Amino acid sequence: MTETRIWLSPPDVGELERKLLLEAFDSNWVAPVGPDLDAFEAQVAEIVGVRHAVALSSGTAALHLALVAAGVRRGDTVLVPSFTFAATANAVMYLGARPVFLDSTTASWNVDPALVVEELKRRCAKGRPPRAVIAVDMYGQCADYGPLVDACDRYGVALIEDAAEALGASYAGKPAGSFGLAGVLSFNGNKIITTGGGGMLVTDDDGVARRARHLSTQAREPFPHYEHRSVGYNYRLSNLLAAVGRGQLQRLDSMIAARRETGHFYRAALGDLPGVTFMPIAEYGRANYWLTCLLIDPERFGASRDRVLERLAAHAIEARPTWKPMHLQPVFRDCVMRGGDVCADLFRRGLCLPSGSALTEHDRERVATAVRAVAAEANA
Ligand SMILES: *Cc1c(COP(=O)(O)O)cnc(C)c1O
């Protein structure tokens, strides 16, 4: 019997998105400007609770422009969590700056605030502060912004929030994306909402928003002819894709509720297995449960993380290892790393389970049954 494939986090789009997309198409706003783009930006700004949102072609583009706005230049250093997706560190490299990688805390898997404080202190004492700190909201859970914001304020260093995975999450009641100088969202196909590729820079700072908007449209000066005073980029989101995003936003709450329910389901269905521990959800905020991730202790579970992945694949279930830390990536081999045991262990033992918002009850039963079967086999 062939089973239908269960994906990790596939796009969840339907009639509403289709209708809005076709309306935009038929209105002939087939350009990176238009009423859907304006409306999409206004709606995201409201959800994130900030004054400005600039829709861009990707989350990576938003990270790039946020770093430009923070003044990052060639030769600068930027503090970056090692446990993240490569885009976070790549954006630093685009500017000829150097990431300094920091380890995670086991409390939330996000960057360890104590390491950020220590590194800021050390570098500022030497008169060489980093130009910026990037915090990442891993798997839809905010980093610990209390100590992070305090430390960045104290040392006068810009904080950038990579909330690519965290739209709809919050920290102490404040929405993800609203911390620091600028926040970054992604609308890639696997994220909480998708435009089939896209991102946004969100900020309360008028200057940062103006600069990002200007640079994202080739840095054209307001002249009748083409006049340029800085190097620009072609980073604007298309109005057509913004129409899809507007549809997704109407369903944001229910899509997050579905992912949260899946997270609770897996915890109830698998939490009793020996050697299984789920990503801790910190008391300080509300996660959006983008992906449900767990750790497998091979001794107690009776099988390795890779064995579980293999068995799930055999049942046509797409699961993935957690992010491979940046300090273990060949491309970043020469970068400085502070600590590293925590995120190396999260990578060695970590597993992300199918968590899409359109996952059915039957699908998640299939996933849980397959995981339990590996444990049963190992202990037979
Ligand atoms: C997805 C992601 C990005 C990049 O977003 P794109 O829209 O794919 O460019 C950046 N950071 C993190 C943590 C992500 O998960």
pLDDT average, residue stretch 235-261:
97
Distance of CA 253 to the CA centre of its chain: 18
Q: What is the mean pLDDT of the chain?
A: 97
The DSSP code for 167 is: T
Domain ranges across the chain:
15-250, 252-378
pLDDT digits (tens, 9 = 90+) for 179-219: 999 999 999 999 999 999 999 999 999 999 999 999 999 99
Q: Which atom of ligand 1 is nearest to the CA of 61?
A: 9
Which of 2.120.10.30, 3.40.50.1820, 3.90.1150.10, 3.30.2350.10 is the CATH number of 252-378? 3.90.1150.10
Parallel/antiparallel/unpaired status of strands 199-203 and 182-186: antiparallel
Sheet of strand 132-136, all strands in order from the earlier edge strand to the far edge: 52-56, 199-203, 182-186, 158-162, 132-136, 77-81, 98-102, 337-338
Report CA(228)–ligand 1 centroid distance (Å).
29
Does position 335 have pLDDT exceeding 80, yes or no? Answer: yes
Percent of the chain scored above 70 by pLDDT?
99
**Is residue 151 scored above 90 in pLDDT?**
yes
Counting atoms of ligand 1 from 1, which one is nearest the CA of 84?
13
Q: Is the pLDDT of residue 3 over 90?
A: no
Q: What is the pLDDT of residues 338-350, one digit of tens each?
A: 999 999 999 999 9
CA of 161 to the centre of ligand 1 (A): 12
Q: With b meaning 16 or more CB within 10 Å and e meaning fewer, what string describes 286-321?
A: bbbbbbbbbbbebeebbbbbebbbebbeeeebbbbb
Q: Which atom of ligand 1 is nearest to the CA of 87?
A: 10
* Alpha carbons 208 and 203: distance in angstroms, whole number: 7
pLDDT of 1 above 60: no
Q: Residue 343 region, left (φ>0) first, then alpha (ψ -120 to 50), else beta? A: alpha
CA of 191, closest atom in ligand 1: 1
- Minimum CA distance residue for ligand 1 atom 5: 59
Q: Are strands 98-102 and 337-338 parallel, antiparallel or unpaired?
A: parallel
Q: Distance between CA 43 and CA 38 in Å, rounded?
A: 9
Average pLDDT of the residues in 9-35: 93
User: Tokens 């990579």, residue?
Assistant: 162
Pocket of ligand 1 (CB under 6 A): 58-60, 84-85, 87-88, 136, 162, 164-165, 186, 188, 199
Taking the C-alpha atoms of residue 93 and residue 98, their distance in angstroms, rounded to an integer, is 6
For residue 352, the cross-strand partners are 293, 320
State how far the Cα of 136 lies from the Cα of 133, in Å rounded to an integer: 10
Average pLDDT for residues 225-247, to the nearest whole number? Answer: 96
Instruction: Give the integer Cα–Cα distance in Å for 137 and 162.
Output: 6
Q: Is the CATH number 3.30.1360.120 carried by domain 15-250?
A: no
N-to-C CA span, the chain: 25
Which of 110, 111, 142, 188 is the best mutation target for the ligand 1 pocket, counting ligand atoms within 8 Å of the beta carbon and taking the most?
188
CA atoms of 262 and 291, how far apart (whole Å): 9
- Cα separation, 80 vs 133, whole angstroms: 6
How far, in Å, CA of 324 to CA of 335, rounded?
15
CATH topology of 15-250 equal to that of 252-378?
Answer: no
- 3-state DSSP of 327-347: HHCHHHCCCCEECCHHHHHHH
Whether the CB-CB separation of 129 and 148 falls below 8 Å is answered with no
Please give the pLDDT value at position 2. 67
pLDDT tens digits, 128-149 = 999 999 999 999 999 999 999 9
Residue 31 has a pLDDT of 79
Ligand 1: distance of its center to the CA of 308 in Å? 26
d(CA 165, CA 183): 11
With cut-offs at 50, 70 and 90, classify the pLDDT of residue 156: very high
Query: Distance (Å, rounded) from C-alpha 252 to C-alpha 229?
Result: 40
Where does the pLDDT of residue 113 fall: very low under 50, low under 70, confident under 90, or very high at 90 and above? very high
With a cut of 60, say whether residue 49 has pLDDT above it: yes
Residue 5 DSSP label = P
In the block, tokens 């449900």 appear at 292
Mutate to test the pocket of ligand 1, among 88, 90, 202, 320 (most ligand atoms within 8 A of CB): 88
Which amino acids are annotated catalytic? 191
> Is the pLDDT at 378 greater than 90, yes or no?
no
Answer yes or no: is pLDDT of 100 > 60. Answer: yes
| Degrees to nearest 5, angle at CA 105 with 102 and 107 | 160
pLDDT, tens digit (0-9, with 9 covering 90-100), for 276-314: 999 999 999 999 999 999 999 999 999 999 999 999 999
* 237 Cβ contact partners less than 8 Å away, ≥ 6 residues apart: 32, 37, 40, 55, 56, 57, 195, 198, 199, 200, 245
Rounded CA separation 44/61 (Å): 17
Model confidence at 30: pLDDT above 90: no
pLDDT at 182: 98
CA distance 57 to 62: 8
Which of 194, 173, 198 is closest to 60 using CA atoms? Answer: 198
The secondary element (H helix, E strand) that includes residue 81 is strand 77-81
Distance from residue 299's CA to the centre of ligand 1 (Å): 34
pTM, whole model, 2 decimals? 0.97
